Structure 1
């Protein structure tokens, strides 16, 4: 049966570190904003299950956006003259700039993987701007486990290499359709974008020396981590939770590194328990 999803989309123009950007976003629902941040090398299509979940959209306005260079957000003018590298400050400035451009005040923000790392930076730099933060597959650091040079070479298919690298991070119980849609998003990434994102994740965003400074009295922090993930392992998230007084951690059985896209229904069951604390 045909139907139209109750999701609206558009573009917002704003400056990031003095440069003009045109950023694509989607939203659904009404109420306080739940701002969703996608993983490295992918885009906000990962949150399709959240955008279409009435149990969430009846209580929250879900807002997702594609980082510059990702999905429907093009790079800024002059991108061809420099290598793309995501830094901690650029990431934070992009999120805060988007919120300001969209008149979003004190959202509940949720990010996965690099998004799960950047919510920690948001907690350190701007706790007053958020009613709460949710880190999916969130750790204070990650040990490199493959050579990033493979992600941007002229002699290999970049999209297929990116998908191949992350394929093992999906939980073993994910349905075939959800597994392959998650991988398809990676296959469509622009040249060097996944590599540039991982500059933040693997080289520049290490928070082991700072995580203990996060004050959950100013901004509550909830961590949800899939059982089957060797990028951010359950132990990585346990170590992070031990660093931060008042942080809440739930290990999600059967899920992997992309819970919101690889197993939307199973993930939403865990997420609803957290959302109850913010409404």
Structure 2
């Protein structure tokens, strides 16, 4: 590099902080990141992973110019440590504890009527949130979620002769589409390789064992809390058929399958996922969308001036 060249430096607008709160009777120190202004998009990560999966959404100016994007790490995940005494118990995530931590986090940050986006286990969790607390939400967007998902709760990752930091991410990587960029697929693998011992298994307890909303879809009032469900065509954990069954059972629910994408749409192929997300956000926030259109027209007018 010559003495006249200036190195390229990029500082993202994403801000990361910690919030202390009590949930289900336990003190928690929760890490979260946020960017943007406007109606809140509260983003929930997948089993065994963390909020880094939403880094593309957090860094998208087309989104953050219209919305406040907030993503947090569940306790035991990412940069949120387990609560005191974690070594004395088996980690198993339950629907009650999961619903509670999301609501308690939203209350701690005074997030009013957030639109909750969740993927995989969180894609199913948003349905339970809508069923129990529709009036607190501006809508839910479930990615790779259904009323019931079988087969993910397994004990093999606890075996001492298996390297879970390689086997778990490799098992989950099969859920992604071959068309998704390799750099993104590798990033999903990397994040999964850093999960704590038994955490992925404990999350799938909720996903495959504890939550079963079959026959209860009618309890979700989409006139109060709109429901959107999207699943990638390459997803073989929560299949497009599973999601279609949920849409059929929940009156007023919308969504369907996404072509050329898999189980982790916001992380494995964000540009493609965005083409599905924007129409939903425009429908949920039409006034907000009009502002975006007006800004675009003003910019176009400037270009032609």
Q: TM-score range by the shorter chain?
A: over 0.9
Q: CA contact under 8 A between 1:150 and 1:161: conserved in structure 2?
A: no
What aligned pairs does 1:204-215 form with structure 2 within 5 A after superposition? 204-215=210-221
Q: Which residue of structure 2 lines up, in the alignment, with residue 278 of structure 1?
A: 284
Q: Which residue of structure 2 lines up, in the alignment, with residue 7 of structure 1?
A: 14
Q: CA contact under 8 A between 2:231 and 2:243: conserved in structure 1?
A: yes
Q: Extract unaligned runs of 5+ from structure 1.
A: none
Q: Which residue of structure 2 lines up, in the alignment, with residue 66 of structure 1?
A: 73
What aligned pairs does 1:215-234 form with structure 2 within 5 A after superposition? 215-234=221-240
Matched, 1:21 2:46: no
> 51, 63, 87: which one pairs with 1:80?
87
Q: Extract unaligned runs of 5+ from structure 2.
A: 1-7, 286-305
Task: Please report how far the alpha carbon of residue 278 of structure 1 lies from its aligned counterpart in structure 2 after TM superposition.
Answer: 2.1
What aligned pairs does 1:196-207 form with structure 2 within 5 A after superposition? 196-207=202-213
Compute the TM-score of the two structures, normalised by the length of structure 2. 0.90
Task: Please report how far the alpha carbon of residue 166 of structure 1 lies from its aligned counterpart in structure 2 after TM superposition.
Answer: 0.4
Secondary structure of the 1:47 match is helix
Deviations 1:193-230 (A, max 9, x none): 00000000011011113122111011100111111100
Q: Which residue of structure 2 lines up, in the alignment, with residue 268 of structure 1?
A: 274
Taking the aligned partners of 1:151 and 1:20, their CA distance within structure 2 comes to 28
Task: Please report how far the alpha carbon of residue 5 of structure 1 lies from its aligned counterpart in structure 2 after TM superposition.
Answer: 1.1
What aligned pairs does 1:136-215 form with structure 2 within 5 A after superposition? 136-144=143-151, 148-215=154-221
* Larger gyration radius, structure 1 or structure 2: 2
Deviations 1:29-51 (A, max 9, x none): 00011000000000000001100
Count of residue pairs brought into register by the alignment: 278
What aligned pairs does 1:231-246 form with structure 2 within 5 A after superposition? 231-246=237-252
Secondary structure of the 2:196 match is coil
Deviations 1:162-207 (A, max 9, x none): 1011011011111111000001010000000000000000110111
Q: Which residue of structure 1 lines up, in the alignment, with residue 301 of structure 2?
A: none
Secondary structure of the 1:270 match is helix
Q: Which runs of 4 or more aligned residues in structure 1 lie more than 4 Å from their structure 2 counterparts after TM superposition?
A: none
Secondary structure of the 1:23 match is strand
Taking the aligned partners of 1:194 and 1:148, their CA distance within structure 2 comes to 9
Task: Please report how far the alpha carbon of residue 143 of structure 1 lies from its aligned counterpart in structure 2 after TM superposition.
Answer: 2.1
